[in-house]
Chains A and B, each alone.
Chain A
Amino acid sequence: MADGRAVTAVEAVFREERGRLLAALVRRFGDLDLAEEVTAEAIEAALVHWPVNGVPPNPGAWLATTARRKAVDRLRRDTAYAARLAILQVEAERAAPPAPETGDGDDLPDERLLLFFTCGHPALPAEDRVALSLRCLAGLTTPEVARAFLVPTATMAKRIVRAKKKIREARIPFRVPGPDERPERLAGVLQVVYSIFTEGYVASSGSDLQRPDLAEEAIRLARILRRLLPAEREVCGLLALMLLVHARRDARTAPGGGLVLLADQDRGRWDRTMIEEGLALVPVALTGGPVGPYGVQAAIAALHDEAADVTTTDWPQIVALYDVLFSLTPSPIVALNRAVAVAMRDGPQAGLALLEQLADEPQLRDHHPFHVACADLLSRLGRDAEAAAAYRRALDLAGTEPERAHLRRKLAPE
C-alpha cells in the first residue's frame, strides 16, 4: 500500500516537475544529456527512498537537490567530461550571463522558456522539434512519444538521439532569444505546440480519428508558455484557439467512431467550461496591438462555438476574419476555408467559383478537405456526377478510417 502510494506520488510529481527540473539542470550545467540522466537518477532514488522514509514535504525541491548532487558527483568522477563542460560553460557565458545560483531546497526558478526555444530551434528538423518538446517539456517517455505518432519506439529513439546530437555538436544554445529574434523564434515554438495539437486532433493516419492525449499535451504546453510569456498575445491566441476547438471533441465522433461534421454536431455535447475559458482569452489575444494569425483563428473558432447552429452562425464576420487571416498568412489552405465560409454566406455557387480558382494550387491538389468541399458544394447544386467524382478523389486521399467511412457514406447513401 505504502509502496503503491509513493510510486503514484513520484509519477505525479515527475509528470509535473520533470520539465521544470530538466530545464533548471540544463541551465545550470549546459548539457541536455547530463540533465536527463541525473533527472532519471533522482526519480529512481525517490522510488527507493520515499516508500521507506515517506514522501518529503516539498517533493520537487527534493528531486532538484538530489539531481544536482548527482550531477556534481558525476562531474567529479568524470574529470574529462567536466573539463569539456567547463569550456562549454565559459564560452556560453561569453554570450549569456551566468545562471543565478539557488541554494538547496529553494524553489527552482522556472527555466522552461529556454528549453522551449532550444527544442523548437529552427536548426532542428520539424519532426525532431515536436518529438523533443514532448519529451523534454511535456515529460512524455520516448515510447509514449512513439505511440502518439504511431512510429516504432526505436524510430522515435533515433530521432531524439539525432536531435540531441545536433544540439550538442552544432552547439544550439540554451537561451531565450533577444528582442530582434524573438518574434520569428516564438512563431517557431508556437508552431511546434500547434502541430502537436493538430496531430492529436486529426491524426494523419491510423484507425482512431482523434488522439485526445496529444491535444491535451499541446494545451498543457500552451498553458505553461502563457504563464512564462504573459505579454505575448499570440501565445494567448493559440491557447484560446486550441481550447475552443478541443471543446468540440466529444461531439466530433459518433458512437461508432465515425466523423461528425461541425454542421451535424450535437452542440449540447460541447464542453462549455472549456469554451468559456477560450472565449475569455480571445479579447486578450485581439487587443493591444496588431493581431496575429492564432488570435484571428481563435476569433473564428469563437464565432462557431457561440452559434446555436450552422444557419445562425455569423458567416459575414467569419468571412471578414478569413480576409484578415489571408492578409497575415496568404496560403491556399486559408483561401479554401474562406471559400467555404463564402458559400455559407452567399450560397454554394459563389463558394464553388472561388474553389475553382484554387484547383491548380499544388498544395490543394492532394489535400482531401479541398475535394470534400468541392463535392459538398457540387452536391448542393445538384451536380451529382461531378460531386461523386470529387468524393471519390477525397476518399483516395483521406488519411484516417473515420474520415474514409464518412466519405463512403456520402458516395453510397443508405
Chain B
Amino acid sequence: MKYMLLINSSPEGPAAEADCASFDDWMAYDKMVRESGIHVSGHSLADLTTATTVRVAPDGQRTITTDGPFAETREVLGGYYVLDVPDLDAALDWAARCPGSRGGGSVVVRPVAEF
C-alpha cells in the first residue's frame, strides 16, 4: 500500500542548531529508502519564496498570486516521499526515521487513495 510522507519544516528553522538534520543525514535516509525497494517517488521542494499560487474564479478568470502561498500555517511543506509498504505501522516507522521529523519539523503520513 502506498503512503505519502509530507515533510514539513518549521519556517523559523530548528529550535537548536544541534537538532538540525545535516545534508549527510538526508543522503543516508534517501539511500536507505531507495535500497529497501519501497521507494515510489519523492522530491524536495525549492524554497517557499519561489512558490506561485494560481486560482481560477467561477467566471473563469485566472488569478495568479506571484509571491508565494501566504501560508498562515506554522509549518511549510519542504518535500515528500511516496513509499510502498505493507501497513501504517511500517509507514510510521519510515516517517520516524526521516530527518524531517526532527528539530521542530514533522512528517504527515497519508495513505494514497486507491480507485
Contacts and interface: CB of A to CB of B under 8 A. Distances in A.
B18 to A, nearest CB: 23
A91 B89 CA distance: 13
Q: Which of B87, B90, B92 has the most CB of A within 10 A?
A: B87
A170 B90 CA distance: 11
B88 A172 contact: yes
Q: How large is the interface on A (under 10, 10 to 19, 20 to 34, 35 or more residues)?
A: 10 to 19
A92 B88 CA distance: 11
Contact of B86 (A94, A123, A170): A94
Given A169-B111, A170-B111, A171-B111, A95 B88 contact: no
Contacts of A293: none
Given A92-B87, A94-B86, 12 more contacts: A91-B1, A91-B86, A92-B86, A95-B89, A123-B92, A170-B88, A171-B86, A173-B87, A173-B88, A175-B89, A177-B89, A181-B89
Interface of A: 91-92, 94-95, 121, 123, 169-173, 175, 177, 181
B87 to A, nearest CB: 4
Interface in B72-105: 86-90, 92
A92 B111 CA distance: 16
A94 B111 CA distance: 18
Nearest to B90: A95
B75 to A, nearest CB: 19
Contacts of B1: 91, 171
A406 to B, nearest CB: 43
Contacts of B86: 91-92, 94-95, 171, 173
Nearest to B111: A170
Given A169-B111, A171-B111, A95 B87 contact: yes
Contacts of A171: 1, 86-88, 111
12 contacts: A92-B87, A95-B87, A95-B90, A121-B88, A169-B111, A171-B1, A171-B86, A172-B88, A173-B86, A173-B87, A175-B87, A181-B89
Interface in B22-80: none
Interface of B: 1, 86-90, 92, 111
B90 A123 contact: no
Contacts of A95: 86-87, 89-90
A22 to B, nearest CB: 19
A170 B2 CA distance: 10
Contacts of A94: 86
A374 to B, nearest CB: 35
Contacts of A181: 89
Contacts of A92: 86-87
Nearest to A171: B87
A177 B90 CA distance: 11
A70 B89 CA distance: 30
A95 B92 CA distance: 14
Contacts of A169: 111
A173 B3 CA distance: 14
Contacts of B90: 95
A111 to B, nearest CB: 17
A259 B87 CA distance: 48
A121 B91 CA distance: 14
B68 to A, nearest CB: 31
A35 to B, nearest CB: 17
A123 B87 contact: no
B89 A172 contact: yes
A403 B104 CA distance: 42
A129 to B, nearest CB: 15
Nearest to B87: A173
Nearest to A91: B86
Q: Which of B86, B92, B111 has the most CB of A within 10 A?
A: B86
Nearest to A92: B86
Contacts of A175: 87, 89
Contacts of A123: 88, 92
Nearest to B96: A181
A177 B89 CA distance: 9
